[in-house]
Amino acid sequence: MSVVAWIGLGNMGGPMSANMVAAGHEVRGFDLNPDAVAVAVKTGVTAARSISDAVADADIVFTMLPKGEHARAVYFGDEGVLAAADKATLLVDSSTIDIDTAQALHDAAATAGFRFVDAPVSGGMSGAIRFYTRGKVVTTRWPDPATSEIDLGFPQMA
């Protein structure tokens, strides 16, 4: 299947990254909280040593962070997502952030040549159960070049 980098393995990102593993994807996860990483590893996520380690050769990068300042650091840092990911990698941000930060991430990613999707989620502390995306995702690499729909392998609300 696909190689997925997951940055932010907390209350929402932990369960969602586990769902990606259950759907058959290789998931490399990173979080500053070692307890969150340990829980994710128990679900089959491979612990990454750094953001750059997580995103190396990934098909898609998910970021799920609690604050705008965290998202900016993860994307804009010297070894952050924009510096370390391949330009063909699809970037999906599902962080709990302000509009200005979401726009700044999008603009910086576009300027750097990345495809970027702002994808808020709902579901609460037990893990997100639905993505809400802005814009159409057109991909030629993941998961299938014949479609623009991406099945993320997550349970959906009925």
Q: At what angle do helices 13-22 and 34-42 cross, to 10 degrees?
A: 20
Tell me, yes or no, whether 70 lies in a domain: yes
pLDDT of residue 136: 44
Tell me, yes or no, whether 123 lies in a domain: yes
pLDDT of residue 125: 58
Mean pLDDT for the chain?
A: 83
Count the domains in the chain.
1
The yes-or-no verdict on residue 154 having pLDDT over 60 is no
pLDDT of residue 131: 56
- Residue 30 β-bridge partners: 7
Predicted structure pTM score? 0.82
Mean pLDDT of 35-42: 98
DSSP for 19-46, please give it. Answer: HHHHTT-EEEEE-S-HHHHHHHHHTTPE
Tell me, yes or no, whether 156 lies in a domain: no
The yes-or-no verdict on residue 16 having pLDDT over 60 is yes
Q: What is the CA radius of gyration of the chain?
A: 14
Spatial strand order of the sheet with 46-47 comes to 46-47, 26-30, 3-7, 60-63, 90-93, 115-118
Q: What is the CATH number of the domain that holds 54?
A: 3.40.50.720
pLDDT of residue 122: 66
Tell me, yes or no, whether 19 lies in a domain: yes
Residue 78 tokens read as 């010297």
Question: Domain span at residue 62?
Answer: 3-131
Tell me, yes or no, whether 139 lies in a domain: no
